[in-house]
Amino acid sequence: MIRIALLGSTGSIGRQVLSVVARYPERFSVVSLAAGSNAGLLKEQAEKFHPRICCLTDAGKASALSDFPRGISLYTGPNAPLHAVTEDCDVVFAAMSGFAGLAPVLEAISLGKTVALANKETLVAGGDLVMKRAAEKGVAVVPVDSEHSAIFQCLHFDRHAPFRKLIITASGGAFRDLSAEEIAKKKAKDALKHPNWNMGNKITIDCATLLNKGLEVIEACHLYGAGLDRVEAVVHPESVVHSLVEFEDGAVMAQLGVPSMELPIQLALTYPERLPTGIPSLSLVGKTLHFSPIDEEKFPCFPLALESYRLGDNFPCAMNAANEVAAGLYLEDRIGFYDIPRLIRHAVEKTARAEVSCEAVLTETDRAARAYALEKFNSL
Ligand code: NDP
Ligand code: MG
C-alpha cells in the first residue's frame, strides 16, 4: 500500500491523482490533502478518501471546515501545506501550483519522502537547492509533467542514464497560428481555450505565452542534469509525441500517446510497473505529425525564461515570481498579452544577484520580484 500526501488536491492534477487512487484502492491510500481555498471540494474529497490530515491555506475559508468529517486534523493558514507532509506517508505528490509549492517539497525531502513532482515552479525557482538536497538525502524526485515523464520513460526510469540530447515538444498553445498583431489583442478567455490539454488556469496562460516551455526546459535541465545546450524545444501541434531522447549513438526514442495527464500521474506512482488507465488507444493511421521551431519573436517569454536560467543563481526564481504576478493580472484582464514579458523583464533586470544557499534567499527573491512586477504594472 502506497500512502500519499497530496498537495493541491483540488486542482486539475490533484483531482486526477485521486482518480488514480480511486481506481486502485488496494494499492493507494491518502494520508493527507492540502488545498488553497476550495473548502467545499476538499470536504468532499475528505469524505471519500478518509485522510488523517486536511490543510487549507486560505484561512478566510476556515469557517467552511466546521462540518468536516470527525477525526481529521485540520490546519489553515499560509503554512498549512507543511502539515500535510507527514512521517507516515510514502510519497508526497506535489500538485500545488506556483512558488508556494517549494516549501512543502523541501520539507518532504528533509523527511526522506519520495516526491512525485508536477509543480514545475518549484524546480524552476529552487532547482539547484531541491536537487542538491534530494541527492544528499537519496530522495527520488519523480517527474509528472508529461514531457519529463516521456523522457523518464525513454530513459527506462533512470534520471541519471546517459543521453546526448533531450527534445521537448510543445503544443504551441492557444495562439500558435496567429500573428503577433492578432495575439496582442487576445484576452485570457481566448488563451484558456487550449487546443489539446485541459489544465489549471495559470499553466494554460503559460502555454499560450510559451513561458511554460521555458519552465519545462529548465525543469529538464535540473531533472536530467543537462545544460541548456542539450535541451531543445520544438512545436508539435498534435501533442502525440510527448518528448524524445537522442542517445550517444544517434538513436532517438520517443514516447507517444493520446494526450492525457492520467498516464504520467499514474506512472509516477507505479513505475516501472504499467497498469491499465482509461486512456484510449492511439491511432496513427491517417495522422500527419508536424514539428517546427518556436517563434521567439511572437513568444518572447520563451527566450526570457531561458535567459534567466543562463543568468543563474536567483534569477530563474525572480522570473518565475514575476510571471506568477503577470499571468494572474492577464487572467483578470488587467494587462495585455505582451505586458506579461514586459513585467518579467523588468523584474529580472531589477533583481539583485544572490547565491541560492538556502530557502530564505528564494523566499526573499520571490517577494521582491513580485513587487518589481507590480511596480512595472503600475507604470504601464
Ligand atoms: P490548478 O490551478 O488546477 O490547481 C492548483 C492546486 O494548488 C489547487 O488545488 C489549489 O487549491 C492549490 N494551491 C494553490 N496555491 C496553494 C497554496 N498556497 N496552498 C495550498 N494549495 C494551493 O493547477 P494544475 O493542477 O493545473 O497544476 C498544478 C501544478 O502542476 C502546476 O505547477 C502546473 O504547472 C503543474 N502541471 C500541471 C499540468 C496539468 O495538466 N494541469 C501538467 C503539468 C504540470 P485551490 O484550488 O483549493 O485554491
Ligand atoms: Mg508539460
Greatest alpha-carbon pair distance for the chain in Å reads 61
CB 310 within 8 A of CB 84: no
Pairing mode, if any, of strands 292-293 and 231-235?
antiparallel
Alpha-carbon gap, residue 32 to 5, rounded angstroms: 5
Write down the pLDDT at residue 68: 86
Q: Answer for the pair 240, 227: CB distance below 8 angstroms, yes or no.
A: no
The grid coordinates listed for 42 are 476538499
Give the ligand with the smallest distance to the CA of 120: 1
**pLDDT tens track for 250-280:** 999 999 999 999 999 999 999 999 999 999 9
**Distance from Cα 303 to the centre of ligand 2, integer Å:** 17
- Residue 219 CA to residue 306 CA, distance in Å, equals 11
374: phi then psi, degrees, rounded to nearest 5 = -70, -35
Would you say the CB of residue 246 lies under 6 angstroms from ligand 1? no
Q: What is the pLDDT of residue 62?
A: 80
Fold of 2-143: Rossmann fold (3.40.50)
106: confidence class by pLDDT, cuts 50, 70, 90: very high
User: How far apart (Å, rounded) are the C-alpha atoms in residues 67 and 92?
Assistant: 27
Main-chain dihedrals φ then ψ at residue 205, nearest 5 degrees: -65, -45
pLDDT tens profile 177-205: 999 999 999 999 999 987 777 899 999 99
Mean per-residue pLDDT, 51-62: 94
Q: Which residue, by CA, sits nearest to atom 42 of ligand 1?
A: 145
The average pLDDT across 289-294 equals 98
> Within 13 Å and on the Cβ side, how many CA atoms surround 326?
30
Q: From the CA atom positions of the chain, what is the Rg in Å?
A: 20
CB 49 within 8 A of CB 23: no
Q: Is the pLDDT of residue 289 over 80?
A: yes
Residues 372/350, Cβ–Cβ less than 8 Å = yes
What does the pLDDT read at residue 336?
98
Mean pLDDT across the chain: 97
* pLDDT tens-place string over residues 114-163: 999 999 999 999 999 999 999 999 999 999 999 999 999 999 999 999 99
How far is it, in rounded angstroms, from Cα 68 to Cα 348?
A: 43
Nearest-angstrom CA–CA distance, 78 and 100: 9
Q: Which atom of ligand 1 is nearest to the CA of 14?
A: 25
Give dist(CA 93, CA 105) in Å, integer. Answer: 9
Q: Ligand 1: does its nearest atom lie under 6 Å from the Cβ of 32?
A: no
Q: How many CB atoms lie within 10 A of CB 300?
A: 20
Distance 144 CA to ligand 1 centre (A): 13
The residue whose C-alpha atom lies closest to atom 43 belonging to ligand 1 is: 145
The rounded Å distance from CA 326 to ligand 2 centre is 20
Q: How far apart are the first and last CA of the chain?
A: 54
Which ligand 1 atom is nearest residue 96's CA? 7
pLDDT for 141: 98
Q: Tell me the pLDDT tens digit for each residue of 205-250.
A: 999 999 999 999 999 999 999 999 999 999 999 999 999 999 999 9
Residue in 18, 119, 152, 199 to alter for ligand 1 test, most ligand atoms within 8 A of Cβ: 199
19-33, 52-66, 82-96, 220-234: range with lowest mean pLDDT = 52-66
Q: Is pLDDT of 24 > 90?
A: yes
pTM above 0.85, yes or no: yes
Contact 132, 158 (CB under 8 A): no
Q: What is the reported pLDDT for 194?
A: 72
SS3 (DSSP) at 296: coil
228-232: Cβ within 8 A, 24+ apart: 228/306, 228/309, 228/310, 230/163, 230/164, 230/165, 230/166, 231/165, 231/166, 231/168, 232/165, 232/166, 232/167, 232/168
Among 51-65, 150-164, 299-313, the minimum mean pLDDT is found in 51-65
Q: How confident is the model at residue 63 (pLDDT cuts 50, 70, 90)?
A: confident
What separation in Å is there between the alpha carbon of 98 and the centre of ligand 2? 14
pLDDT grade, residue 65 (50/70/90)?
confident
Ligand closest to 7 (CA) is 1
Residue 370 confidence class, pLDDT cut points 50, 70, 90: very high
Domain boundaries, the chain: 2-143
